[in-house]
Chain A
């Protein structure tokens, strides 16, 4: 479970919000450009430092301004997939997925085993020896997802992961995300502009405006047409 209370002064407004995401649940975080969605993810990941607040994963404090706790980004066990998948183009698909495991010093046999499992899981086993530079957008997002999940993160964060994908790729990546969250029972935050994405992948929705949560609730509580952003 993720519990976060964050305050950070930004250029145009102060980000001030609380989030709670249960295990196996997807929170769709929606809002306009510049509302503070990606900044929120970067703070939770440890890429940005908030001015104050606390962040807990499964009860473990990773940030507490008052207690002076700020676990470095590489030790937070986060799976983070960006809109631009940031698949390392100079590596093969297999090496991309193995990157996090090797960085964490996993045994080579275990690395091989886990890489093979996640390549299978995301249906990209046949791409294992292929250089990532030559992949399509949908394939890259699958590799990015496999790479993020292979490290068995305590939290998965997806920042507009369907941007630039065609309909078929979007559908298959959505299915893969939903399946992985259900299997791993980890909390997930999905940042998106599109109600359709929130409906397909999310369990709960929060809207954010100028750094504050303006509305939140179960997906069923929302009236689709009235709140489309």
Chain B
């Protein structure tokens, strides 16, 4: 049996496939963007800017930005040398450490917060000894930072590990033969050559820290000015001042957009090859 198709039938099928693909793309895009657009339709520019001056908004915004920046600085300062040493050395249990780094990505944030509470809470394994010295972790601003670091650091660590693995070892070997100490090689060669990707990872980490909700509410609570970050303020104001919640939600959307644009711009910078 032979099969034959007329040119018209072929064209029709191509057209149909194009329409099908278009509908699919439109459906996915609309599903993702419609809830975001809905937020903007529930307010007006005047109301938005007026609510921005509300003390509850300012308090949540200040707390979120401050804690997220502190978390990010700690993740960069500790995470960059950690990821580098991890990539460049073989040691027993390296595979396990790799898995531990990724664990917070799949762990439900509420579980992460609960685990932090079990360890650092007043009756926790470490917390009960720390409280003997008057040190309290749970339900403080410090707890917000600890929760953010726990949940957001894998974004930076994974990116840093990937960049250091990709970097041609010839750069480091050359720098060593030229007389540079391992620290100088790291600071003057490795970090500058991977800077674009590291900044991209840092931006993603900042975004994740800023949006942290589950671990924070479990471990740090929900106290205005102490632990009520922007996502928590959105949640609380669902049944309180709706405009405050809406304004903070829109702020978070705008910051998220800025983060995604920054990541896209920085992601174009590749690790150079020797």
Please list the residues of chain A having a beta carbon within 8 angstroms of any beta carbon in chain B: 42, 45-47, 73-80, 82, 84-90, 99-100, 103-104, 133, 144, 147-148, 151
Return the CB mask of B172-194 against A: 1 if under 8 Å, else 0: 01111111110010001100110
Q: Name B274's contact: one of A75, A79, A84 (CB within 8 Å).
A: A84
With a cutoff of 8 Å between Cβ atoms, the chain A residues found around residue B184 in the complex are: 103
Given A82-B173, A84-B168, A103-B184, A147 contacting B193 (CB threshold 8 A): no
How far, in whole Å, are A79 and B179 apart by their CA atoms in the complex?
10
With a cutoff of 8 Å between Cβ atoms, the chain A residues found around residue B173 in the complex are: 42, 45, 47, 80, 82, 86
With a cutoff of 8 Å between Cβ atoms, the chain B residues found around residue A45 in the complex are: 173, 177
**Which of A42, A73, A78, A85 counts the most chain B CB atoms within 10 A?**
A73
Shortest CB distance A73–B (Å): 5
Those 4 A-B pairs whose CB atoms lie nearest each other, nearest first:
A100-B178, A84-B274, A86-B170, A86-B274
With a cutoff of 8 Å between Cβ atoms, the chain B residues found around residue A85 in the complex are: 274
Shortest CB distance B180–A (Å): 4
Tell whether, in the assembled complex, residue B189 and residue A88 are in contact, meaning their CB atoms are under 8 Å apart: yes
Tell whether, in the assembled complex, residue B170 and residue A103 are in contact, meaning their CB atoms are under 8 Å apart: no
Shortest CB distance B269–A (Å): 11
Given A47-B173, A80-B174, A89 contacting B181 (CB threshold 8 A): no
Count, chain B residues at interface, CB 8 A: 20
With a cutoff of 8 Å between Cβ atoms, the chain A residues found around residue B235 in the complex are: none
Tell whether, in the assembled complex, residue B178 and residue A103 are in contact, meaning their CB atoms are under 8 Å apart: yes
Tell whether, in the assembled complex, residue A90 and residue B274 are in contact, meaning their CB atoms are under 8 Å apart: no
Shortest CB distance A10–B (Å): 17
Tell whether, in the assembled complex, residue A73 and residue B189 are in contact, meaning their CB atoms are under 8 Å apart: no
B7 close to chain A: CB less than 8 A: no
Shortest CB distance B163–A (Å): 14
How far, in whole Å, are A47 and B177 apart by their CA atoms in the complex?
8
With a cutoff of 8 Å between Cβ atoms, the chain A residues found around residue B189 in the complex are: 88
Query: Can you report 5 A-B residue pairs in the complex whose CB atoms are below 8 A from each other?
Result: A86-B274, A87-B274, A90-B193, A103-B178, A148-B177
Shortest CB distance A144–B (Å): 8
Shortest CB distance B207–A (Å): 26
Given A80-B173, A82-B174, A84-B273, A103 contacting B180 (CB threshold 8 A): yes
With a cutoff of 8 Å between Cβ atoms, the chain B residues found around residue A151 in the complex are: 178-179
Tell whether, in the assembled complex, residue A99 and residue B175 are in contact, meaning their CB atoms are under 8 Å apart: yes
Q: Name A99's contact: one of B168, B170, B178, B181 (CB within 8 Å).
A: B178
